[in-house]
A and B are shown apart, each in its own frame.
Chain A
C-alpha cells in the first residue's frame, strides 16, 4: 500500500471511529424513556366488583379489594371482563383469564398483573399503574 492509500484508509478509519463515538450517545438519547406511573382513583361509588377504570380492574370480594392490570400478558392489549362467563378475555389473540386474573387459556403464559391498592382516608381507593 502506498502512502496516499494508507492515509485514505486512515481517514476512513477515523470517520468510522467518529461515527461510532457519536452514535453511542445518540442511541442512548433516542432510546431513553423515563419510567412513568399513573394513579387511578376509585371513588366509593366506583368500588363495585370488576369495575374498570384507566387500565385497571378493581376486584371486590366482600369488604376486601384488590386490583388487576388490564394489560394482557401476551402482547399488551387491554382485556375486557365478560360478566356472563366471569372471565377476562383479550380481544386481540383470545387469551382467557379467570375472574381473579389467573390464566386459563390462549397464548398468554402469565396471570394478569396484581397491583397494590391503597385505601385513602376519605375511603377512596388508589392504585398506581406503570404507563
Chain B
C-alpha cells in the first residue's frame, strides 16, 4: 500500500518535472529559432557583398571560403544558423502538433505560419543551389523540371524560379536574398512580435553558433564537372528524392508533398473524426518520409 502511494507520488512528480521541461522547451524553441534567424540574416547580408551569382559560382564560393578574410567563418555561420533555424522551426511545429495547440489558432494564422515554415525550407533549398556545386546544380535542375510538370502553369512557374545557362543561379539568388526572406518575415510578423528573443536566448544562440562556425567545417560540395555515380540533395529533400526513384515525378515531387502540406494547413479547420484521421495520416506520412530519407542516405 505504502509502496503504491510512493510510486504514485513519484509518477506525479515525474509528470510535473516533464511538463515543466516541455513547457520551458515550448517557450524557448521559438525564441532560439528566431535568434538563429537573426544571425542567419546578418551573416547573409555580409556574404552578399562577395557572392556573385554569375560566371563560375563554385569558384566564387571557394574564394569566399579560402581567400576572403573571415569568409570561412561567415559562410559556416550562415550555413549553421540557417540549418539550426529550420530544425528548430521543425521542432516547434512538432511541439505544436503534439500538444494540439493549433486548435487555439485561427485557420488564417495557422495557414500563414505553416506557409512560413514551408518558405523556410525553400530558402534552405535555394541556399543549397547557390553553393554552385554539382549537387546544387542538379537540385536546381530537378526543381525546374518538377515545376514544369505542373498542369497549365508549369512552364511559366519554372521560368519564374530558375533560369538557364549563365543565368541559372540568378533567380534562386534573388529568391534566397530578397523575395523569400521578405515573405518569411511578413508571414511570421505576429510570431516575431510575440517571440522576439530575449537577451538570454540571443546570447546563447550567438555563442553556440559562433563556436560551431569556428570549430566545425562545412560539408564539401562537389565541383560542377565532377563525376559521381550517386548524389544526394539537401537532408530534408532525401525522402522526395527516394520517392522520385519509384513514382512518377508529378506524384512524387508535387502532388504527394502538396497533399501533405494541404492536410497539415487544414488542421484547425477539422474536427471530430476527421481531425483524428488527419493527425494519424500526418504522423504516418512523417514517419514514412523519415524512413525513406534514411533508406536513401544509408542503403
- List residues of chain A with CB under 8 Å of any chain B CB: 27, 30-33, 36, 38, 74-78, 80, 82, 89, 91-94, 106-107, 131
Say yes or no for B249: interface residue by CB 8 A criterion.
yes
Instruction: Decide if A80 touches B145 in the complex (CB within 8 Å).
Output: no
* B141 CB contact (under 8 Å) in A77, A80, A94: A77
Residue on B with the closest CB to A106?
A: B245
A36 engages B244 (CB within 8 Å): no
By the criterion CB–CB under 8 Å, are A77 and B159 in contact? no
Report the separation of the CA atoms of residues A30 and B171 in the bound assembly, to the nearest whole angstrom: 11
Known contacts A36-B164, A74-B244, A93-B245; 6 further A-B pairs (Cβ under 8 A): A75-B142, A76-B145, A77-B231, A92-B142, A92-B244, A107-B247
Task: Say yes or no: B229 contacts A36, CB within 8 Å.
Answer: no
Number of B interface residues in the complex (CB < 8 A): 26
B156 cross-chain contacts in A, Cβ below 8 A: 27, 31
Structural contact, A31 and B155, CB atoms closer than 8 A: yes
CA distance A82 to B138 in the complex (A): 19
Chain A contacts for B230, CB-based, 8 A: 91, 94
Select one of A27, A32, A77, A94 contacting B138, CB under 8 A. Answer: A77
CB distance from A97 to the nearest CB of B (A): 14
Interface positions of B from 154 to 206, Cβ below 8 Å from A: 155-156, 159-160, 163-165
Contacts of A94 in B (CB 8 A): 230, 245
Interface contact B229-A89, CB-CB below 8 Å: yes
Cβ of B87 within 8 Å of any chain A Cβ, yes or no, is: no
Interface residues of B in 247-296 (CB under 8 A from A): 247-249, 253
Nearest to A91 among chain B residues (CB) is B231
Q: Are B231 and A92 touching (Cβ within 8 A)?
A: yes
Is B43 in the interface zone, CB < 8 Å from A? no
Across the interface, A30 reaches (CB within 8 A) one of B138, B160, B247, namely B160
Nearest opposing residue in chain A for B171, CB measure: A30
> In this assembly, does B144 line the interface, its C-beta being within 8 Å of a C-beta of chain A?
yes
- B24 located at the interface, meaning its Cβ lies under 8 Å from any Cβ of chain A in the complex: no
Q: How far is the CB of A33 from chain B (nearest CB, A)?
A: 5
In whole angstroms, how far apart are the Cα atoms of A4 and B270 in the complex? 39
B241: interface (CB < 8 Å)? yes
Q: A75-B244, A82-B229, A92-B241 are in contact. Are A31 and B160 (CB under 8 A)?
A: yes
* B contact residues around A77 at 8 Å (CB): 138, 141-142, 231
A92 to B243 CA separation, bound complex (whole angstroms): 12
B residues 122-151 touching A (CB-CB < 8 Å): 138, 141-142, 144-146
A74 to B145, CA, bound (A): 9
Bound form: Cα–Cα A106–B246 in Å: 8
User: Are A30 and B159 in touch, CB under 8 angstroms?
Assistant: yes
Instruction: Decide: A107 and B245 in contact? CB cutoff 8 A.
Output: yes
A-B contact pairs, 5 of them (CB 8 A): A31-B159, A33-B159, A36-B165, A75-B249, A78-B138
- Contact flags B216-248 to A (C-beta < 8 A → 1, else 0): 000000000001111100000000010011111
Residues of B within 8 A of A89 (CB): 229
Query: Taking the nearest CB of chain A, how far is it from the CB of B227, in angstroms?
Result: 5
B141 x A75 contact (CB < 8 A): yes
Q: Are B244 and A93 in touch, CB under 8 angstroms?
A: yes
A94 to B247, CA, bound (A): 13
Q: Are A92 and B138 in contact (CB under 8 A)?
A: yes
Bound: A111/B38 CA distance, A: 48
3 closest A-B pairs by CB: A31-B156, A91-B231, A31-B159
Bound Cα distance A49, B138 (Å)? 25
Smallest distance from the beta carbon of B174 to chain A beta carbons, Å?
A: 11
- The answer on a CB contact under 8 Å between B227 and A80 is yes
Q: Could you tell me if A91 and B241 are in contact, using CB atoms closer than 8 angstroms?
A: no
